[in-house]
Amino acid sequence: MTDRRAATSAAPDAYPVSAFDYPLPQHLIAQRPLPNRSASRLLVLSRATGAVEHRQFRDFPALLAPGDVLVVNTSRVIPARLVGRRSNGRPAEILLVHPEPDGTWLAMVHPGGKLKGGRTVAFGDDAVAEVADVVGGGLRRVRFAGRLDVQAVMARYGAVPLPPYIARPADEQDRDRYQTVYAREDGSVAAPTAGLHFTPEVLAEIKERGVTVAEVLLHVGPGTFKPVEVEDPAKHVMHGEWYQVPTATAEAVNAAKAAGHRVWAVGTTVVRTLETARGAGSGWTSLFIRPGFQFSVVDAVLTNFHLPRSTLLMLVAAFAGYEQTMAAYREAIAREYRLYSYGDAMVVA
């Protein structure tokens, strides 16, 4: 699979976007990671009954059984946020999204109204980005000139693109902690955050239990932070994201399901990848999973908590059931779980 056609759910929408709103206590939004990755709390939601348990992430390996497959996303976050100066000396920001075959990059820019085609942003005295054209959806196509190529520009001037709800600049700690321990291939502008809880020790314990750890790749785009601004979910446009499912992973998943074992997805990115590909392959996915979607691959999900009105929350509701999901969120908030990228975790199984 190498085309860029959007894959979408054909099921009718049972819930408007406003149904996925909830009161958000700002003090629960985790601003920094815990000192130890695996020290997070873990809310365990039964998909069958709606029952909720409150545990620690260190208990997660005990939830898996021999023969299960745990699928992780090995994409690595790039230092994609670049702050430079326009030709008039005023600041501008470019958030790189992904490279194009012609060497340009798709990017989000600020201030958008000032960065039209032909405008430039300089980084130091050795790199310049020029807006080649406006491509719609809030995106620009930019090309780099100067002594540094784009990789060197990111290494010298780039910052980790923390989500907007983390109200501080990225620092050196984030270069390590806003990255999974198994991240390998550069390409994401947001971390697949469910994986941030894993340590090498936890992964070793999981393998010792007879669980296969398999890999997929999905480069996370900025759309993961984007609230859905229409009331009808069917009118929301998803940004395309590049994915790849290796043959070995497809074979492990198929073998597990044939033997009656479970396929665990670490994060919504893995869910969307597996449910898009349904086998080995690569391509672009714009799959929008929401209530009404019929799952065919994933049996259990490890995820973090997600923003109100977000496509990620809708995905969890599609998997766990709307009422059960919203009830679990209310309980998590009442018990003051830490929310979002650097927050606590949730299992639906």
CA distance 1 to 271: 17
Does the residue 276 lie in any domain? Answer: yes
CB count, 10 Å around CB of 25?
Answer: 10
Does the residue 140 lie in any domain? Answer: yes
Give the model's pLDDT for residue 165. Answer: 94
Does the residue 166 lie in any domain? Answer: no
Residue 101 sits in which domain range? 81-159
DSSP string, 35-76: SSGGG-EEEEE-TTT--EEEEEGGGHHHH--TT-EEEEE-EE
> Which tens digit of pLDDT belongs to each residue from 256-266?
999 999 999 99
Does the residue 285 lie in any domain? Answer: yes
Same domain, 122 and 70: no
One-letter amino acid identity for 236? H
- Band the pLDDT of 229: cuts 50, 70, 90: confident
Does the residue 5 lie in any domain? Answer: no
Q: Coil, strand, or helix at residue 18?
A: helix
Q: Is the pLDDT assigned to residue 302 strictly greater than 80?
A: yes
Q: Is the pLDDT assigned to residue 8 strictly greater than 50?
A: no
Cα 237 from chain centroid (whole Å): 16
> In this structure, what CATH number is given to the domain that contains residue 127?
2.40.10.240
1 in Cβ contact with 282 (< 8 Å): yes
Q: Is the pLDDT assigned to residue 4 strictly greater than 50?
A: no
Same domain, 141 and 280: no
Give the model's pLDDT for residue 136. Answer: 79
Same domain, 46 and 121: no
> What percentage of the chain carries pLDDT values higher than 70?
96
Beta bridge partners of 107: 96, 140
Does the residue 253 lie in any domain? Answer: yes
Does the residue 12 lie in any domain? Answer: no
Same domain, 98 and 69: no
Same domain, 69 and 86: no
Number of domains in the chain: 2
Q: Which of 159, 189, 224 is the last residue of a domain?
A: 159
- Band the pLDDT of 153: cuts 50, 70, 90: very high
The DSSP letter of residue 339 is B
Beta bridge partners of 91: 85
Q: Which of 132, 159, 186 is the last residue of a domain?
A: 159
The DSSP letter of residue 146 is E
Tokens of 112: 């958008």
> In this structure, what CATH number is given to the domain that contains residue 72?
3.40.1780.10
Same domain, 150 and 180: no
211 in Cβ contact with 300 (< 8 Å): no
C-alpha dihedral, 49 to 50 to 55 to 61, nearest 10°: 50
- Residue scoring higher pLDDT (225 or 236): 236
Q: Is the pLDDT assigned to residue 238 strictly greater than 80?
A: yes
Same domain, 56 and 113: no
Tokens of 160: 């980790």
Give the model's pLDDT for residue 6. Answer: 36
Same domain, 292 and 250: yes
- Band the pLDDT of 10: cuts 50, 70, 90: very low
Same domain, 144 and 199: no
Q: Is the pLDDT assigned to residue 343 strictly greater than 60?
A: yes
> Which tens digit of pLDDT belongs to each residue from 61-109?
999 999 999 999 999 999 999 999 999 999 999 999 999 999 999 999 9
Give the model's pLDDT for residue 303. Answer: 98
- Band the pLDDT of 12: cuts 50, 70, 90: low
Give the model's pLDDT for residue 7. Answer: 38
> What percentage of the chain carries pLDDT values higher than 90?
88
Same domain, 135 and 184: no
Same domain, 52 and 86: no
Mean pLDDT of 173-180: 96
Does the residue 183 lie in any domain? Answer: yes
One-letter amino acid identity for 51? A
Which residue has tokens 């639906």? 348
> Which tens digit of pLDDT belongs to each residue from 304-322?
999 999 999 999 999 999 9
Same domain, 196 and 47: yes
